[in-house]
Structure 1
Protein backbone atom coordinates (compact mmCIF):
# COMPACT_ATOMS: atom_id res chain seq x y z
CA UNK A 1 0.00 0.00 0.00
CA UNK A 2 2.75 2.46 0.94
CA UNK A 3 4.71 1.58 -2.20
CA UNK A 4 1.66 2.14 -4.39
CA UNK A 5 0.84 5.52 -2.86
CA UNK A 6 4.46 6.70 -3.04
CA UNK A 7 4.68 5.64 -6.69
CA UNK A 8 1.37 7.31 -7.57
CA UNK A 9 2.28 10.62 -5.94
CA UNK A 10 5.75 10.62 -7.49
CA UNK A 11 4.11 10.14 -10.90
CA UNK A 12 1.20 12.58 -10.68
CA UNK A 13 1.78 14.71 -7.57
CA UNK A 14 -0.76 15.30 -4.83
CA UNK A 15 -1.26 14.31 -1.22
CA UNK A 16 -2.82 11.60 0.92
CA UNK A 17 -4.63 11.21 4.22
CA UNK A 18 -3.40 9.38 7.29
CA UNK A 19 -3.88 5.63 7.26
CA UNK A 20 -6.77 4.20 9.24
CA UNK A 21 -7.97 0.65 9.84
CA UNK A 22 -11.72 0.27 9.25
CA UNK A 23 -14.51 -2.06 8.16
CA UNK A 24 -15.89 -0.79 4.82
CA UNK A 25 -18.11 -3.79 4.01
CA UNK A 26 -21.50 -4.87 5.42
CA UNK A 27 -20.01 -8.06 6.85
CA UNK A 28 -17.01 -8.23 9.24
CA UNK A 29 -13.73 -7.34 7.51
CA UNK A 30 -10.71 -5.18 8.16
CA UNK A 31 -8.76 -2.97 5.79
CA UNK A 32 -6.15 -0.28 5.90
CA UNK A 33 -7.62 2.78 4.20
CA UNK A 34 -6.26 6.03 2.75
CA UNK A 35 -7.53 8.69 0.38
CA UNK A 36 -5.14 9.89 -2.30
CA UNK A 37 -5.68 13.31 -3.88
CA UNK A 38 -3.93 14.06 -7.16
CA UNK A 39 -4.49 16.46 -10.06
CA UNK A 40 -5.69 13.60 -12.27
CA UNK A 41 -8.10 11.92 -9.84
CA UNK A 42 -9.07 10.96 -6.31
CA UNK A 43 -8.44 7.39 -5.16
CA UNK A 44 -9.81 5.35 -2.25
CA UNK A 45 -6.98 2.94 -1.49
CA UNK A 46 -7.67 -0.23 0.51
CA UNK A 47 -5.27 -2.88 1.78
CA UNK A 48 -7.44 -5.65 3.18
CA UNK A 49 -6.06 -7.45 6.22
CA UNK A 50 -8.80 -10.07 6.01
CA UNK A 51 -10.25 -11.92 2.99
CA UNK A 52 -12.25 -9.49 0.81
CA UNK A 53 -16.01 -10.20 1.00
CA UNK A 54 -17.78 -10.72 -2.32
CA UNK A 55 -18.32 -8.70 -4.51
CA UNK A 56 -15.99 -6.01 -3.19
CA UNK A 57 -12.83 -5.37 -5.16
CA UNK A 58 -14.58 -5.79 -8.50
CA UNK A 59 -16.21 -2.34 -8.57
CA UNK A 60 -14.90 -0.30 -11.48
CA UNK A 61 -15.47 3.09 -9.84
CA UNK A 62 -17.35 4.92 -7.10
CA UNK A 63 -19.97 7.65 -7.51
CA UNK A 64 -20.63 10.13 -4.71
CA UNK A 65 -24.35 10.79 -4.18
CA UNK A 66 -25.87 14.01 -2.87
CA UNK A 67 -29.09 12.12 -2.07
CA UNK A 68 -28.13 8.51 -1.41
CA UNK A 69 -31.56 6.86 -1.40
CA UNK A 70 -32.61 8.75 -4.50
CA UNK A 71 -29.36 7.76 -6.22
CA UNK A 72 -29.84 4.07 -5.45
CA UNK A 73 -33.41 4.18 -6.72
CA UNK A 74 -32.33 6.05 -9.85
CA UNK A 75 -29.81 3.31 -10.60
CA UNK A 76 -32.47 0.63 -10.22
CA UNK A 77 -34.90 2.62 -12.35
CA UNK A 78 -32.26 2.84 -15.08
CA UNK A 79 -32.02 -0.94 -15.32
CA UNK A 80 -29.10 -1.57 -12.97
CA UNK A 81 -29.53 -4.23 -10.32
CA UNK A 82 -28.76 -3.72 -6.65
CA UNK A 83 -26.15 -6.35 -5.81
CA UNK A 84 -25.21 -5.04 -2.35
CA UNK A 85 -28.06 -3.38 -0.48
CA UNK A 86 -27.35 -0.09 1.34
CA UNK A 87 -25.23 -0.39 4.46
CA UNK A 88 -23.48 2.03 6.83
CA UNK A 89 -19.75 2.66 6.77
CA UNK A 90 -17.64 4.69 9.24
CA UNK A 91 -18.33 7.98 7.43
CA UNK A 92 -21.60 7.45 5.54
CA UNK A 93 -23.52 4.88 3.53
CA UNK A 94 -22.75 2.63 0.56
CA UNK A 95 -24.34 0.28 -1.95
CA UNK A 96 -23.14 -1.60 -5.04
CA UNK A 97 -25.10 -1.67 -8.29
CA UNK A 98 -24.49 -3.62 -11.48
CA UNK A 99 -25.27 -2.19 -14.91
CA UNK A 100 -26.12 -4.49 -17.84
CA UNK A 101 -22.97 -6.25 -18.99
CA UNK A 102 -21.78 -7.00 -15.45
CA UNK A 103 -20.32 -3.53 -14.77
CA UNK A 104 -20.38 -2.93 -11.01
CA UNK A 105 -20.22 0.51 -9.41
CA UNK A 106 -20.21 1.58 -5.78
CA UNK A 107 -22.60 4.37 -4.81
CA UNK A 108 -21.72 6.20 -1.62
CA UNK A 109 -22.67 9.14 0.56
CA UNK A 110 -20.78 10.98 3.29
CA UNK A 111 -22.45 12.12 6.52
CA UNK A 112 -20.32 15.28 6.26
CA UNK A 113 -20.18 16.45 2.63
CA UNK A 114 -16.56 16.32 1.42
CA UNK A 115 -14.75 19.21 -0.22
CA UNK A 116 -12.20 18.13 -2.82
CA UNK A 117 -9.88 20.38 -4.82
CA UNK A 118 -10.86 20.73 -8.45
CA UNK A 119 -9.06 18.29 -10.71
CA UNK A 120 -6.66 19.42 -13.43
CA UNK A 121 -7.93 16.74 -15.82
CA UNK A 122 -10.93 14.42 -15.65
CA UNK A 123 -10.42 10.66 -15.26
CA UNK A 124 -11.86 8.37 -17.91
CA UNK A 125 -13.86 5.36 -16.75
CA UNK A 126 -12.77 2.61 -19.19
CA UNK A 127 -15.49 -0.02 -19.63
CA UNK A 128 -15.42 -3.17 -21.75
CA UNK A 129 -18.70 -4.79 -22.81
CA UNK A 130 -19.77 -7.35 -25.41
CA UNK A 131 -21.93 -6.59 -28.47
CA UNK A 132 -24.73 -8.57 -26.79
CA UNK A 133 -25.02 -6.10 -23.90
CA UNK A 134 -23.62 -2.85 -25.32
CA UNK A 135 -26.92 -1.18 -26.15
CA UNK A 136 -28.57 -2.24 -22.88
CA UNK A 137 -25.57 -0.94 -20.94
CA UNK A 138 -25.54 2.33 -22.87
CA UNK A 139 -29.26 2.92 -22.26
CA UNK A 140 -28.97 2.19 -18.54
CA UNK A 141 -25.72 4.09 -17.94
CA UNK A 142 -26.74 7.26 -19.76
CA UNK A 143 -30.13 7.30 -18.04
CA UNK A 144 -28.53 7.03 -14.61
CA UNK A 145 -25.68 9.48 -15.18
CA UNK A 146 -27.56 11.88 -17.45
CA UNK A 147 -24.64 11.37 -19.80
CA UNK A 148 -24.28 12.65 -23.34
CA UNK A 149 -22.90 10.38 -26.05
CA UNK A 150 -20.18 12.39 -27.77
CA UNK A 151 -18.85 9.59 -30.01
CA UNK A 152 -20.31 6.28 -31.17
CA UNK A 153 -17.83 4.98 -33.72
CA UNK A 154 -18.54 1.45 -34.96
CA UNK A 155 -15.32 1.38 -36.99
CA UNK A 156 -12.75 2.69 -34.52
CA UNK A 157 -9.13 1.64 -34.94
CA UNK A 158 -8.58 -1.33 -32.60
CA UNK A 159 -4.88 -0.50 -32.43
CA UNK A 160 -6.04 1.66 -29.51
CA UNK A 161 -6.65 -1.55 -27.56
CA UNK A 162 -3.64 -3.46 -28.84
CA UNK A 163 -5.19 -5.01 -31.99
CA UNK A 164 -3.78 -3.22 -35.05
CA UNK A 165 -5.51 -3.88 -38.35
CA UNK A 166 -8.94 -4.48 -36.82
CA UNK A 167 -11.97 -2.34 -35.95
CA UNK A 168 -14.18 -2.10 -32.88
CA UNK A 169 -17.04 0.01 -31.54
CA UNK A 170 -15.93 2.92 -29.35
CA UNK A 171 -18.40 5.06 -27.40
CA UNK A 172 -17.44 8.22 -25.51
CA UNK A 173 -19.79 9.56 -22.84
CA UNK A 174 -19.57 12.79 -20.82
CA UNK A 175 -21.60 13.40 -17.66
CA UNK A 176 -21.41 15.04 -14.25
CA UNK A 177 -19.82 11.79 -13.07
CA UNK A 178 -16.91 12.31 -15.45
CA UNK A 179 -15.84 10.76 -18.74
CA UNK A 180 -16.50 7.18 -19.83
CA UNK A 181 -14.97 5.27 -22.72
CA UNK A 182 -17.07 2.23 -23.66
CA UNK A 183 -15.18 -0.38 -25.67
CA UNK A 184 -17.38 -2.95 -27.39
CA UNK A 185 -15.27 -5.97 -28.32
CA UNK A 186 -15.43 -9.69 -29.05
CA UNK A 187 -13.32 -10.33 -25.96
CA UNK A 188 -10.20 -11.26 -27.95
CA UNK A 189 -8.09 -8.76 -26.03
CA UNK A 190 -4.32 -8.93 -25.60
CA UNK A 191 -2.95 -8.30 -22.12
CA UNK A 192 -3.26 -5.82 -20.40
CA UNK A 193 -6.41 -4.49 -22.09
CA UNK A 194 -9.51 -5.05 -20.00
CA UNK A 195 -7.41 -4.96 -16.82
CA UNK A 196 -7.24 -1.17 -16.75
CA UNK A 197 -10.19 0.48 -15.01
CA UNK A 198 -9.37 4.14 -15.56
CA UNK A 199 -7.57 6.39 -18.01
CA UNK A 200 -5.71 9.42 -16.67
CA UNK A 201 -4.95 12.51 -18.78
CA UNK A 202 -1.61 14.30 -18.41
CA UNK A 203 0.05 17.23 -20.13
CA UNK A 204 3.21 15.36 -21.14
CA UNK A 205 2.94 11.59 -21.53
CA UNK A 206 6.68 10.96 -21.97
CA UNK A 207 7.60 12.90 -18.82
CA UNK A 208 4.86 11.15 -16.84
CA UNK A 209 6.01 7.69 -17.96
CA UNK A 210 9.59 8.53 -16.97
CA UNK A 211 8.36 9.54 -13.51
CA UNK A 212 6.26 6.38 -13.23
CA UNK A 213 9.16 4.09 -14.16
CA UNK A 214 11.50 5.87 -11.76
CA UNK A 215 8.89 5.34 -9.03
CA UNK A 216 8.66 1.58 -9.54
CA UNK A 217 5.83 1.33 -12.08
CA UNK A 218 6.07 -0.83 -15.22
CA UNK A 219 4.93 0.21 -18.70
CA UNK A 220 2.95 -2.77 -20.00
CA UNK A 221 2.03 -1.35 -23.41
CA UNK A 222 3.03 1.67 -25.47
CA UNK A 223 3.52 4.50 -25.65
CA UNK A 224 1.79 4.63 -29.02
CA UNK A 225 -0.11 7.21 -31.03
CA UNK A 226 -3.41 6.07 -32.55
CA UNK A 227 -6.00 8.40 -34.15
CA UNK A 228 -4.39 11.40 -32.49
CA UNK A 229 -4.25 9.89 -29.01
CA UNK A 230 -0.89 9.24 -27.36
CA UNK A 231 -1.29 6.59 -24.68
CA UNK A 232 0.30 3.83 -22.63
CA UNK A 233 -0.81 1.27 -20.04
CA UNK A 234 1.06 1.19 -16.73
CA UNK A 235 1.08 -1.15 -13.73
CA UNK A 236 1.84 0.47 -10.39
CA UNK A 237 3.26 -1.35 -7.34
CA UNK A 238 0.51 -3.47 -5.84
CA UNK A 239 -0.86 -4.40 -9.26
CA UNK A 240 -3.09 -1.41 -10.09
CA UNK A 241 -3.26 -1.09 -13.89
CA UNK A 242 -4.10 2.27 -15.49
CA UNK A 243 -4.13 3.81 -18.95
CA UNK A 244 -2.37 7.16 -19.22
CA UNK A 245 -2.82 9.51 -22.18
CA UNK A 246 -1.95 13.01 -23.28
CA UNK A 247 -4.56 15.59 -22.38
CA UNK A 248 -5.60 16.88 -25.79
CA UNK A 249 -9.05 18.06 -24.67
CA UNK A 250 -10.29 18.17 -21.09
CA UNK A 251 -13.87 17.25 -20.26
CA UNK A 252 -16.60 19.84 -19.95
CA UNK A 253 -17.96 18.74 -16.59
CA UNK A 254 -16.28 18.36 -13.21
CA UNK A 255 -16.87 14.82 -11.91
CA UNK A 256 -18.32 14.19 -8.48
CA UNK A 257 -15.41 11.90 -7.47
Structure 2
Protein backbone atom coordinates (compact mmCIF):
# COMPACT_ATOMS: atom_id res chain seq x y z
CA UNK A 1 0.00 0.00 0.00
CA UNK A 2 2.84 2.38 0.85
CA UNK A 3 4.59 1.51 -2.41
CA UNK A 4 1.46 2.26 -4.46
CA UNK A 5 1.01 5.57 -2.66
CA UNK A 6 4.59 6.55 -3.41
CA UNK A 7 4.16 5.69 -7.10
CA UNK A 8 0.94 7.72 -7.25
CA UNK A 9 2.63 10.71 -5.61
CA UNK A 10 5.58 10.47 -7.99
CA UNK A 11 3.34 10.46 -11.06
CA UNK A 12 1.32 13.42 -9.83
CA UNK A 13 4.53 15.35 -9.16
CA UNK A 14 5.88 14.38 -12.57
CA UNK A 15 2.95 15.47 -14.73
CA UNK A 16 0.57 17.40 -12.51
CA UNK A 17 -2.06 14.75 -13.32
CA UNK A 18 -1.68 10.98 -12.90
CA UNK A 19 -1.44 9.19 -16.25
CA UNK A 20 -4.41 6.94 -15.52
CA UNK A 21 -6.57 9.99 -14.83
CA UNK A 22 -6.32 10.94 -18.53
CA UNK A 23 -8.03 8.71 -21.08
CA UNK A 24 -6.33 7.59 -24.29
CA UNK A 25 -7.63 9.61 -27.25
CA UNK A 26 -5.16 8.59 -29.98
CA UNK A 27 -6.33 6.48 -32.92
CA UNK A 28 -3.19 5.40 -34.85
CA UNK A 29 -0.16 7.06 -36.50
CA UNK A 30 -1.63 6.94 -40.03
CA UNK A 31 -4.35 9.37 -38.92
CA UNK A 32 -1.83 12.00 -37.86
CA UNK A 33 -0.63 14.47 -40.48
CA UNK A 34 2.01 17.11 -40.96
CA UNK A 35 0.43 20.46 -41.83
CA UNK A 36 2.13 22.00 -44.84
CA UNK A 37 1.34 25.52 -46.01
CA UNK A 38 2.54 26.65 -49.45
CA UNK A 39 1.60 29.45 -51.83
CA UNK A 40 -1.20 28.44 -54.22
CA UNK A 41 1.23 28.57 -57.14
CA UNK A 42 3.44 25.95 -55.43
CA UNK A 43 0.71 23.41 -54.58
CA UNK A 44 1.04 21.29 -57.73
CA UNK A 45 4.84 21.32 -57.57
CA UNK A 46 4.79 20.21 -53.95
CA UNK A 47 2.35 17.39 -54.68
CA UNK A 48 4.47 16.17 -57.59
CA UNK A 49 7.71 16.29 -55.57
CA UNK A 50 6.31 14.70 -52.42
CA UNK A 51 4.56 11.81 -54.14
CA UNK A 52 7.52 11.18 -56.46
CA UNK A 53 9.77 10.93 -53.40
CA UNK A 54 7.63 8.71 -51.18
CA UNK A 55 4.96 7.20 -53.46
CA UNK A 56 1.30 7.28 -52.50
CA UNK A 57 -1.68 9.29 -53.67
CA UNK A 58 -3.53 12.55 -53.11
CA UNK A 59 -7.19 13.05 -52.34
CA UNK A 60 -9.12 15.33 -54.66
CA UNK A 61 -8.26 18.98 -54.08
CA UNK A 62 -11.07 21.07 -52.63
CA UNK A 63 -11.41 24.75 -51.77
CA UNK A 64 -12.73 25.29 -48.26
CA UNK A 65 -12.73 27.39 -45.11
CA UNK A 66 -10.77 25.36 -42.54
CA UNK A 67 -10.43 28.08 -39.90
CA UNK A 68 -12.98 29.49 -37.40
CA UNK A 69 -12.90 32.92 -39.05
CA UNK A 70 -13.44 33.56 -42.79
CA UNK A 71 -10.66 32.29 -45.07
CA UNK A 72 -10.21 30.25 -48.23
CA UNK A 73 -7.65 27.59 -49.07
CA UNK A 74 -7.08 24.67 -51.36
CA UNK A 75 -6.91 21.52 -49.25
CA UNK A 76 -5.86 17.94 -49.97
CA UNK A 77 -4.43 14.95 -48.16
CA UNK A 78 -1.25 13.32 -49.47
CA UNK A 79 -1.04 9.74 -48.20
CA UNK A 80 2.23 7.85 -48.61
CA UNK A 81 3.73 4.70 -47.05
CA UNK A 82 6.13 6.95 -45.06
CA UNK A 83 3.81 9.70 -43.82
CA UNK A 84 0.78 11.85 -44.49
CA UNK A 85 0.56 15.56 -45.28
CA UNK A 86 -2.40 17.92 -44.99
CA UNK A 87 -1.59 20.44 -47.72
CA UNK A 88 -2.96 23.98 -47.71
CA UNK A 89 -2.61 26.69 -50.35
CA UNK A 90 -4.32 29.72 -48.85
CA UNK A 91 -5.98 32.09 -51.30
CA UNK A 92 -6.62 34.60 -48.49
CA UNK A 93 -4.38 35.81 -45.66
CA UNK A 94 -3.95 33.01 -43.11
CA UNK A 95 -5.79 33.80 -39.86
CA UNK A 96 -3.63 33.76 -36.72
CA UNK A 97 -2.39 31.40 -35.27
CA UNK A 98 -2.83 28.99 -38.17
CA UNK A 99 0.31 28.05 -40.05
CA UNK A 100 2.26 27.64 -36.82
CA UNK A 101 0.64 24.33 -35.87
CA UNK A 102 2.91 21.53 -36.99
CA UNK A 103 0.66 18.49 -36.91
CA UNK A 104 -2.94 17.39 -36.90
CA UNK A 105 -3.73 14.50 -34.55
CA UNK A 106 -6.98 12.58 -34.93
CA UNK A 107 -8.70 12.00 -31.59
CA UNK A 108 -11.68 9.89 -30.61
CA UNK A 109 -13.46 12.73 -28.76
CA UNK A 110 -12.38 16.31 -29.41
CA UNK A 111 -13.83 18.01 -26.33
CA UNK A 112 -12.51 15.38 -23.95
CA UNK A 113 -9.11 15.36 -25.67
CA UNK A 114 -8.84 19.15 -25.39
CA UNK A 115 -9.68 18.98 -21.69
CA UNK A 116 -7.13 16.20 -21.20
CA UNK A 117 -4.44 18.24 -22.97
CA UNK A 118 -5.26 21.20 -20.74
CA UNK A 119 -4.94 19.01 -17.63
CA UNK A 120 -1.58 17.77 -18.90
CA UNK A 121 -0.24 21.32 -19.20
CA UNK A 122 -1.22 22.52 -22.68
CA UNK A 123 -2.80 25.88 -23.49
CA UNK A 124 -5.87 25.82 -25.73
CA UNK A 125 -5.01 28.63 -28.14
CA UNK A 126 -7.89 27.95 -30.58
CA UNK A 127 -11.04 26.64 -28.93
CA UNK A 128 -12.93 23.84 -30.73
CA UNK A 129 -14.60 24.92 -33.97
CA UNK A 130 -16.38 23.19 -36.87
CA UNK A 131 -14.76 22.54 -40.25
CA UNK A 132 -16.35 21.09 -43.41
CA UNK A 133 -15.80 17.48 -42.31
CA UNK A 134 -15.55 17.61 -38.51
CA UNK A 135 -14.20 19.71 -35.68
CA UNK A 136 -10.77 21.04 -34.69
CA UNK A 137 -8.84 22.83 -31.96
CA UNK A 138 -5.25 24.06 -31.60
CA UNK A 139 -3.22 23.51 -28.45
CA UNK A 140 0.21 24.72 -27.37
CA UNK A 141 2.64 22.78 -25.20
CA UNK A 142 5.41 24.23 -23.04
CA UNK A 143 8.20 25.42 -25.31
CA UNK A 144 5.75 26.93 -27.80
CA UNK A 145 4.92 23.70 -29.64
CA UNK A 146 1.57 24.04 -31.44
CA UNK A 147 -0.54 21.06 -32.49
CA UNK A 148 -3.99 20.72 -34.01
CA UNK A 149 -6.40 18.12 -32.69
CA UNK A 150 -9.19 17.04 -35.00
CA UNK A 151 -12.25 14.79 -35.17
CA UNK A 152 -14.16 13.63 -38.26
CA UNK A 153 -17.93 13.40 -38.63
CA UNK A 154 -17.40 10.17 -40.59
CA UNK A 155 -14.81 7.82 -39.14
CA UNK A 156 -11.87 7.55 -41.59
CA UNK A 157 -10.19 4.28 -42.53
CA UNK A 158 -6.57 4.61 -43.66
CA UNK A 159 -3.96 1.94 -44.32
CA UNK A 160 -1.14 1.64 -41.80
CA UNK A 161 2.23 3.16 -42.67
CA UNK A 162 5.09 0.98 -43.86
CA UNK A 163 7.38 3.17 -41.73
CA UNK A 164 6.09 5.54 -39.05
CA UNK A 165 7.36 9.13 -39.44
CA UNK A 166 8.62 11.16 -36.50
CA UNK A 167 7.40 14.54 -35.34
CA UNK A 168 10.61 16.56 -34.84
CA UNK A 169 10.19 19.08 -32.04
CA UNK A 170 12.84 21.69 -31.19
CA UNK A 171 12.63 23.19 -27.72
CA UNK A 172 14.96 24.98 -25.33
CA UNK A 173 16.68 23.20 -22.43
CA UNK A 174 14.49 25.32 -20.13
CA UNK A 175 11.27 23.88 -21.59
CA UNK A 176 12.21 20.31 -22.48
CA UNK A 177 11.25 18.68 -19.16
CA UNK A 178 7.84 20.37 -19.05
CA UNK A 179 7.15 19.55 -22.68
CA UNK A 180 8.03 15.87 -22.30
CA UNK A 181 6.04 15.55 -19.08
CA UNK A 182 2.96 17.16 -20.58
CA UNK A 183 2.98 15.41 -23.92
CA UNK A 184 3.72 11.92 -22.61
CA UNK A 185 0.97 12.29 -20.02
CA UNK A 186 -1.56 13.35 -22.65
CA UNK A 187 -0.44 10.83 -25.28
CA UNK A 188 0.20 7.93 -22.87
CA UNK A 189 3.63 7.97 -24.46
CA UNK A 190 6.86 6.40 -23.35
CA UNK A 191 10.40 7.71 -23.61
CA UNK A 192 12.30 5.11 -25.62
CA UNK A 193 15.65 6.90 -25.53
CA UNK A 194 17.09 9.89 -23.68
CA UNK A 195 20.57 10.92 -24.82
CA UNK A 196 21.95 14.02 -23.11
CA UNK A 197 25.02 13.97 -25.38
CA UNK A 198 23.57 13.11 -28.77
CA UNK A 199 25.96 13.71 -31.70
CA UNK A 200 25.79 17.30 -32.90
CA UNK A 201 26.03 16.19 -36.53
CA UNK A 202 22.29 15.53 -36.24
CA UNK A 203 21.69 19.29 -35.95
CA UNK A 204 24.48 20.41 -38.27
CA UNK A 205 27.10 20.94 -35.55
CA UNK A 206 29.53 18.05 -35.71
CA UNK A 207 31.80 19.54 -33.04
CA UNK A 208 29.12 19.59 -30.31
CA UNK A 209 26.46 17.54 -28.55
CA UNK A 210 22.83 18.18 -27.61
CA UNK A 211 19.99 16.59 -25.63
CA UNK A 212 17.79 14.27 -27.72
CA UNK A 213 14.72 12.41 -26.47
CA UNK A 214 12.69 9.93 -28.50
CA UNK A 215 9.06 9.23 -27.59
CA UNK A 216 6.58 6.68 -28.91
CA UNK A 217 2.81 6.61 -28.42
CA UNK A 218 -0.32 5.65 -30.31
CA UNK A 219 0.00 9.03 -32.03
CA UNK A 220 3.27 7.82 -33.54
CA UNK A 221 6.92 8.73 -33.05
CA UNK A 222 8.42 11.98 -31.80
CA UNK A 223 12.01 13.20 -31.53
CA UNK A 224 12.54 16.09 -29.11
CA UNK A 225 15.68 18.13 -29.76
CA UNK A 226 16.67 20.40 -26.87
CA UNK A 227 19.27 22.86 -28.20
CA UNK A 228 20.76 26.24 -27.44
CA UNK A 229 19.22 27.59 -30.63
CA UNK A 230 22.58 28.02 -32.38
CA UNK A 231 21.36 26.10 -35.41
CA UNK A 232 22.69 26.33 -38.96
CA UNK A 233 20.10 26.38 -41.72
CA UNK A 234 17.96 24.31 -42.30
CA UNK A 235 17.92 22.65 -38.87
CA UNK A 236 14.92 23.64 -36.78
CA UNK A 237 12.78 24.28 -39.86
CA UNK A 238 11.95 20.63 -40.47
CA UNK A 239 8.80 19.36 -38.78
CA UNK A 240 8.89 15.70 -39.75
CA UNK A 241 11.48 12.96 -40.24
CA UNK A 242 10.55 10.30 -42.78
CA UNK A 243 12.02 6.80 -42.54
CA UNK A 244 12.74 5.01 -45.82
CA UNK A 245 14.33 1.67 -46.65
CA UNK A 246 16.86 3.05 -49.15
CA UNK A 247 17.96 6.61 -48.49
CA UNK A 248 20.07 7.03 -51.63
CA UNK A 249 17.31 5.76 -53.91
CA UNK A 250 14.76 8.02 -52.23
CA UNK A 251 16.99 11.07 -52.56
CA UNK A 252 17.51 10.32 -56.24
CA UNK A 253 13.75 10.20 -56.76
CA UNK A 254 13.49 13.49 -54.90
CA UNK A 255 16.16 15.19 -57.02
CA UNK A 256 14.57 13.93 -60.22
CA UNK A 257 11.30 15.58 -59.12
CA UNK A 258 12.87 18.98 -58.40
CA UNK A 259 13.40 18.57 -54.65
CA UNK A 260 16.52 20.30 -53.27
CA UNK A 261 19.01 18.31 -51.20
CA UNK A 262 19.98 20.82 -48.52
CA UNK A 263 22.22 18.55 -46.44
CA UNK A 264 23.84 15.46 -47.91
CA UNK A 265 23.48 12.19 -45.96
CA UNK A 266 25.46 11.77 -42.75
CA UNK A 267 25.72 8.89 -40.30
CA UNK A 268 24.86 9.06 -36.61
CA UNK A 269 24.61 5.80 -34.72
CA UNK A 270 22.36 3.44 -36.66
CA UNK A 271 20.71 6.30 -38.59
CA UNK A 272 21.76 7.86 -41.88
CA UNK A 273 19.93 11.10 -42.60
CA UNK A 274 19.66 13.98 -45.06
CA UNK A 275 17.72 17.24 -45.20
CA UNK A 276 15.64 18.25 -48.21
CA UNK A 277 13.41 21.11 -49.36
CA UNK A 278 10.30 20.45 -51.42
CA UNK A 279 8.80 22.95 -53.89
CA UNK A 280 7.05 25.63 -51.87
CA UNK A 281 9.71 25.64 -49.13
CA UNK A 282 8.71 22.64 -46.98
CA UNK A 283 11.84 21.27 -45.27
CA UNK A 284 12.01 17.65 -44.15
CA UNK A 285 14.47 15.16 -42.73
CA UNK A 286 14.68 11.78 -44.50
CA UNK A 287 16.51 8.88 -42.93
CA UNK A 288 17.16 5.17 -43.07
CA UNK A 289 17.88 3.01 -40.04
CA UNK A 290 20.25 0.04 -40.02
CA UNK A 291 18.43 -3.18 -39.20
CA UNK A 292 19.97 -5.25 -36.43
Please give the range of the TM-score, normalised by the shorter of the 2 chains: over 0.9
Give the gaps of 5 or more residues in structure 1: 250-257
Task: State the partner residue of 1:214.
Answer: 256
- How far the C-alpha of 1:67 sits from its partner, in A, is 1.1
* Contact 1:121/1:247, CA 8 A, preserved across alignment: no
TM-score, normalisation: structure 1: 0.95
Match of 1:36 among 75, 78, 85: 78
**Is 1:18 matched up with 2:43?**
no
- How far the C-alpha of 1:60 sits from its partner, in A, is 1.3
Q: Deviations over 1:157-176 (max 9, x none)?
A: 11111001211100000000
**Is 1:95 matched up with 2:95?**
no
| Range that drifts further, 94-103 or 67-76 | 67-76
Superposition misfits of 4+ residues, deviation over 3 angstroms: none
Task: State the partner residue of 2:184.
Answer: 142
Q: Deviations over 1:177-217 (max 9, x none)?
A: 00000001000000000000000000000000000000010
Task: State the partner residue of 1:238.
Answer: 280
**Is 1:168 matched up with 2:217?**
no
- How far the C-alpha of 1:228 sits from its partner, in A, is 2.3
* Contact 1:19/1:33, CA 8 A, preserved across alignment: yes
CA distance in structure 1 between the partners assigned to 2:101 and 2:266 by the alignment? 28
Give the gaps of 5 or more residues in structure 2: 1-42
Q: What is the Cα-based RMSD across aligned positions, in Å? A: 0.8
Which protein has the bigger helix share? 2
Alignment of 1:28-177 (within 5 A): 28-177=70-219
Larger Rg over CA atoms: 2
Secondary structure of 1:190's counterpart equals: coil
TM-score, normalisation: structure 2: 0.84
